[in-house]
Each structure stands twice: as C-alpha cells, then as structure tokens.
Structure 1
Amino acid sequence: MSHQIFNERPKRKIIKWMIGLLLAFVVIAGGGALYVQSALKPAEKHSGEEVEVVIPRGSSAASIGQILEQKKLIKNKDIFRFYVRVKNISGFQAGTYVFSPSMSAHQMIDMMKSGDVTRTPKVQLTIPEGRQLSEIAEVFEKHTSYTKEQVMEKVQSKEFVEEMKKNYPKTITNEVDKKDIKYALEGYLYPATYSFYNEDVSLDEMLATMIGKTDEVIKKYEEEMKEKAYTPHQLLTMASLIEEEATEKVDREKIASVFYNRIDENMPLQTDPTVLYALGAHKDRVLYRDLEVDSPYNTYKVKGITPGPISNAGEMSIKATLKPAETDYLYFLATPEGEVIFTRTLKEHNKQKNIHITGKRDTD
C-alpha cells in the first residue's frame, strides 16, 4: 500500500504542475490579448483633431503602422502590424485619409480598405526625378501658397532638419551635418506625385511627407545596403550622380559600373552635373573654365563621390547603385539623341566624341 502511495504522489504533483502551467499560460495569454485590445483603442479618445495621412501605393502593414504611429494615431506600430497579419487583413488602398486620434485602429483599417480616393486634392505636387532643392522649391511656389524663398528657408532650418532626424533616425543621420554639404536635405525629397486634401496643409507636413517617402523606399534596401557597407546618405549620393547622368534610353546599371570602376582605379568620376551643382548653374554646356571651380562637389578635382546628393534620385537609380552591371567600362558619352555610348579607353572615348559631338568644347 505504501508502495502505491509512493507512485501516486509524483503523478499528482506532475498533474498539479501541468495545471498550474496551463493556468499561467491562460493568464499570460489573456493579459496579452488585453494588451493588444488596448493598443488598438483610440490613442486619444476625446480628441477633436483631424490628421491628414498619405498612404502611398504598395504600402505594407508595417509601413502603414509606422505612418500611423508617427502621426500619433495609434499607440504601437508593432501591435498594429501583428493584428493585421493575424487577422489576415489585406486590400489597403493608397490615398489621402483624414483620421483622428479619437478613432480606433479598426475604424482606420475599415476606411483604408474602402479607399475613399475619389476626392479632388486641394494641393497636388509632382516632383520629378533628378531635381535639386531649388527646383523643387519652384514647384512649391507654382502649386502652393508658399514661395520658393520660404521653402528654401525651411529646408535649411536647423530646427526642421533636427525634427526630421528625430522622425526618421535611420535615414537622416548626422552625415547630413557635414561641413562640406551644401544643403542638408538635398536628395531627401523623394520624386513622386503627392496629393493633399486639406487646403491649409502646412509646409512642414508636405516636406515631411516627401522625406517620409524616401525613408520608406530606403528601408526596402536595408539588406543590400549592409552588403555594400553603404549608409543611406552614401546610397542617395551615388544614386543622385547616376540619376543626373541618366536618360530614358540609358542603362543605369552600366553608368553605375563606370563610376565604381573609376573609383576602383583611383580615377576621379569627372561627371559634369557635379560641376554645375558646384557652380549653382543650369546650362547645356560645361566649359573648360568651369572645371576649375574650387568645390568639394567638383568631381574633376576631387576623387570619389560628392559630400552629399546633388539631386533627388528615383528608385531605378537607387537599384542601380546597389546592383551595378559587371563591366570594364571607364567612360561613357551621351549623344545629342539621348543615346549613351560606353567605352573602355580614353582613345575609344575620344573617337566616339569626334563622331557624335559636333564642334569642340569652348576653351574661353
């Protein structure tokens, strides 16, 4: 009999331990569920504030959650992403929405699934690829109530730059503060079409939306950047050089290969757009005297890439920066017809120049 009791006691202990473990799991799971429910409730139940939110085309649950958290519309972007995935919610539609902190995540999800994008935007800006800040400021002046001077003053404001660094710490880093950089946010206003439905939309919000789009695009290439040991600033800088040399007919990957090959050979990049950027000029021809401009952006005098971007780059140029073609080209020549001819030697390059370029570069 004692032998039987000896055998039963451990069994009872095991059963009690298992029951206790199960109860603990239920409590933890219940607490987790309550935490998730709390995170999905309104961020500020009694708020009357309206917040305009732009959801770009192709946005993932993670990127939407980040946008909503940055706008202080939800409490936790990770919980938002987790909830969307667990519930297998899909079909979010791009557009500009007006949300409020008094709305629950469920309400915002329903609105984004229905996609009310039929309204006419009060302000719409199309920012093309390869545009400098000064040119983007002109687009603002043409399509908004803000002048070019106001835009340029804002993007050069230390307070605004610091705010963007705080909002997008992985993309806008202290590299933008280097002393040789002309404009800290040059190259960070992503080329795209932006629609705003509030006619009183602030300049800060429009600029922040464009920078936010750059942040979103950059994050898609984190692994590739790690492989090349590139920072976002270096990536945008090289991409801008490729963008400025590209035409509709050109293979950006080949242009990238030329730049990388020249760097490997310890040769200056010698790309004319950097000279024009250094001069602050827009003109069709670069003169020999222009090549003498004393500037860290003059790639005829300074080897390697420029201190920062010289314009905004599209995603095609970003991809080319990360995955250049494998070639042994060291030169390329853009013809008047928009074709780009790649060559391996200076002799070949000069031969193509004589064939395709009429006249000679001015020497005055």
Structure 2
Amino acid sequence: MSDDLGLFSDDAGERPYGRRSARHDRQRVRRRRRRRWVTALAGLFVLVLVGGGVVYGASQLLKIGSFEDYEGAGEGSVVIEVKSGDTTSAIGSTMRQQDVVASTKAFTQAAEQSKDIASVQPGFYLMKSRMSGAAAVERILDPSAKVGALEIRGGMRLEDQAAPNGERTPGILSLLAEASCAEIDGQEQCVSSEELHRVAETADLAALGVPEWAIGPASQAEPKRRLEGLLMPGLYDVKPGENAEELLRSVVESSAAQLEVAGLPQAAEGTGFTPYEVLTIASLAQSEGIAKDFEKVTRVVYNRVNEAQMPLQFDSTINYPLDKPTLLTNREDRERPGPYNSYQNQGLPPTPISSASKEAVTAAEKPAEGSWVYFVKCYQDGTSCFSDTMEQHQAAIREARERGAF
C-alpha cells in the first residue's frame, strides 16, 4: 500500500503517530532516565572507592616514621639489664618488653639526639614504667641510674679487715651487700651482709656455681672460708632485688668463667699441685708481692714446698685468720697455732687467703726459673729482693731498712 502521506512511517528522526507509538516513546524515555541514574550512581560509587583509597593511602603514608610513645617521666621502679654488646636498639627493645617505653622507636629516636648514648655500659639500671622515650634516655644516662656494681680487687678477702686506724676495711661479702642495695618503689632494698655470710657458709657449693675441681677441698674448709679465693678480681654486675643465694651465685659463676680463662683446671697439670692448690699459691703471690714479682714469689713457694722441704713462713698467712691486712707480724702471732700458721706447719695453707688476679694465677701455673727460697720487700715501691741463702737474705733485709722499705 502506498504511504504517500507518511502516516505509518517509523524512520529515524521522525515521530510516529498514534496511541501505541506515544506509549512506546514514554517507555523509551523512562529507560533512558534509568540508564542515566545507574550510570551516575556507578560513577559516584567509583569516586567513593577512589576517594577512600586515596584517604587510606595517605593515612598509611602519614604513619611511616610514627611510633607509640608515653608521656612524662614514668612511675614506679623497673630494673633492666644492659648486656655486653647491646646496641641502642637492643636496649630499647629490652625497655619495651618491660614496659619502660611504649616502643623501641620511642627510645632509639630520642637517643639519636644524644651524643652520650654510646657511653652506656653493661649492667643493671633502675628505670621507671611508662616513660617517654626522651625521659628514658635522660634517665639511663644519669649515673645514679646504674645499680648493682661490685668491684673486687686483687688481694681482697671475704671478711672485713682491721685497718691501721682502728676502722674496718670492707671485705667482699660486705661490698656485695652494699651493691645489692637500690631504692625500689620508694623503699630501700638490700640483702644484709649477715645473710650473705650465712649462705656462703651453708649453701650447696655446686648450686652456688663453684667449679667442680674446687668443690672437694672447699667443702673441707672452715665454713666461713669455703669461698675464699674463688671470687676473682674484676667488675661484677648484680641485680638488686635478688636474694642472697642468687646474688652469690651470679658472682661465683662469673668468677668461675674467669678462672677457666686463667687456665684452671687444665694448666695445673704438670705442676705437681692440684688446681685448688695452684689457686692457693696464686693468692699467696697476690698477698705477698707486686705483679712484676709474682712469678718469682710463686717459684719460692714451689722451692720451699717441693725442694727444700721448708715451711713457707709467710706473714700473710699468719695475719689471714686475724683479718689483718699488713705483712708484718709479731712473735705472739707467729707462735699462735692454727692451720694458717705457715711458720709451724709444712706445706700450703688449707685454702687461698685472698682474691688472686689472672696474672697471679698464671704465675702460679708457670713460675719463673730460679733457686730462691727467700725474699723480702726491699724497695719502697714494693719490689722484692730474692735470695738463695740466709746470708743473702739478711743482707737484703739490711739494705731494705736503709732504703726505708719497711
């Protein structure tokens, strides 16, 4: 049929006429509107996702370099240990584990501002809980923060000694009691010297860390002298707050390691003496001479005990049970019987008589070559003169007096 009038045309760009075409047009408009809304909502959703990602990413970037940190100087008391070889980060980690600081970074970043942080030495430090990083750095650099430091010097004894002025020179156990003291949570906490003496006299020697080679002879000694000589000279760090047995164990175990470094027990082989006797000889050298004479003094001991079969006649052994620090004795003391009277008894005393240094132990293991059986301090700096005969010895004594050596 011809459609010259265009009544039924539906070409693109032309609007068809009639009720059905109008309805179709409205539906198409609605579909277009729905598509626009869906497209708009999808775009908005994408914008939200992108915006959220940007915000999250920015927040993560801002967190780079951030760290937790407490505020203020902290509260309470915490004892931390700085171990040998600890880095600043390791110290900070220890503090974080014990809640001294909120994070390792809080300490390390504050420490970067201090040129003195490298001066922190191994040992125990009294800190506080919940300190800011800056406060923790300031505190650990304060000399008063370091606690539990014990110094044992060569020639020291367990017991206090009488000083020439009538006062008492603290012995190792008294110094250990002092080192145990710290003000924790506002209260002074110490282990008493009496308690340390009790443990030293009664505790199981193996449990205290005494080397196996020393347990037998030490257990036969007078109780208060069982640990004599087993605590080598050096710096020790003890933890305040520990009990008497824990404190003694920490020192005895550390000393046992030093004795091993000094060669005991292996280096005693071939000397003719047991490791414990070598340590006793070392203590005699430490008490009788100065370091440069140790090898000669120990040779005198070897010669008197093994070759000449002479009593030692060392004044230091006479004064040892009398708790006197001097080398001079009087006739009354020399005539007083006892296991440490080396004028009356043959051989070595039953125990060491003092704390012997590594140098003294080495000298006892390898004494100098010589035939001396006498020596006397003959110079004011403590140097001794060594003799083979009594005539030589008497001449050395006269010369020593002329020099004012004693």
What is the TM-score with the length of structure 2 in the denominator? 0.55
Native 8 Å contact 1:275 1:298 kept in 2: yes
Partner of residue 192, structure 1: 234
Residues 1:130 and 2:149 are matched in the alignment: no
Query: 1:287: how far off?
Result: 0.7
1:305-357 CA-to-partner distances (Å, cap 9, x unmatched) read 11111111110010000000001111111136112111111111111112212
Query: 1:292: how far off?
Result: 0.7
Query: 1:237: how far off?
Result: 1.1
Q: Which residue type is aligned with residue 358 of structure 2?
A: E
Distance 1:193 1:180, change over 3 A: closer
Which blocks of at least 5 consecutive residues in structure 1 are unaligned?
A: 1-49, 58-93, 99-116, 360-364
Partner of residue 105, structure 1: none
The 3-state SS of whatever aligns with 1:173 is helix
Q: Distance in 2 between matches of 1:127 and 1:241?
A: 17
Q: Distance in 2 between matches of 1:349 and 1:179?
A: 34
Partner of residue 198, structure 2: 153
1:132-155 CA-to-partner distances (Å, cap 9, x unmatched) read 111112323444323332222221
Larger radius of gyration: 2
Q: Distance in 1 between matches of 2:82 and 2:370?
A: 41
Higher RCO (CA-CA < 8 Å; seq separation 6+): 1
Q: Which residue type is aligned with residue 234 of structure 1?
A: E
1:163 pairs with one of 207, 210, 225: 207
Which blocks of at least 5 consecutive residues in structure 2 are unaligned?
A: 1-77, 86-120, 126-139, 160-170, 182-189
Partner of residue 398, structure 2: 354
1:160-190 CA-to-partner distances (Å, cap 9, x unmatched) read 43522xx445243221122567611111122
Partner of residue 256, structure 2: 215
1:87-125 CA-to-partner distances (Å, cap 9, x unmatched) read xxxxxxx94489xxxxxxxxxxxxxxxxxx989532111
Distance 1:347 1:229, change over 3 A: closer
RMSD: 3.1
Distance 1:52 1:350, change over 3 A: farther
Native 8 Å contact 1:127 1:192 kept in 2: yes
Partner of residue 330, structure 2: 287
Query: 1:245: how far off?
Result: 0.8
Native 8 Å contact 1:171 1:218 kept in 2: no
Q: Counting helix residues as a fraction of each chain, which structure ranks higher? A: 1
1:266 pairs with one of 290, 298, 309: 309
Q: Distance in 2 between matches of 1:266 and 1:216?
A: 34
The 3-state SS of whatever aligns with 1:278 is coil
1:24-48 CA-to-partner distances (Å, cap 9, x unmatched) read xxxxxxxxxxxxxxxxxxxxxxxxx
1:183-214 CA-to-partner distances (Å, cap 9, x unmatched) read 11111122111124x43133323321221123
1:313 pairs with one of 356, 364, 367: 356
Distance 1:181 1:277, change over 3 A: farther
Native 8 Å contact 2:293 2:383 kept in 1: no
Partner of residue 294, structure 2: 252
Native 8 Å contact 1:257 1:324 kept in 2: yes
Native 8 Å contact 1:181 1:307 kept in 2: no
Partner of residue 225, structure 1: 268
Q: Distance in 1 between matches of 2:246 and 2:224?
A: 23
Q: Which residue type is aligned with residue 185 of structure 1?
A: L
Q: Distance in 2 between matches of 1:357 and 1:150?
A: 45
Native 8 Å contact 2:300 2:373 kept in 1: yes
Match runs of 1:35-50 below 5 Å: none
Distance 1:169 1:52, change over 3 A: farther
Percent pairwise identity:
25
Aligned residues: 252
Partner of residue 140, structure 1: 176
Distance 1:136 1:179, change over 3 A: closer
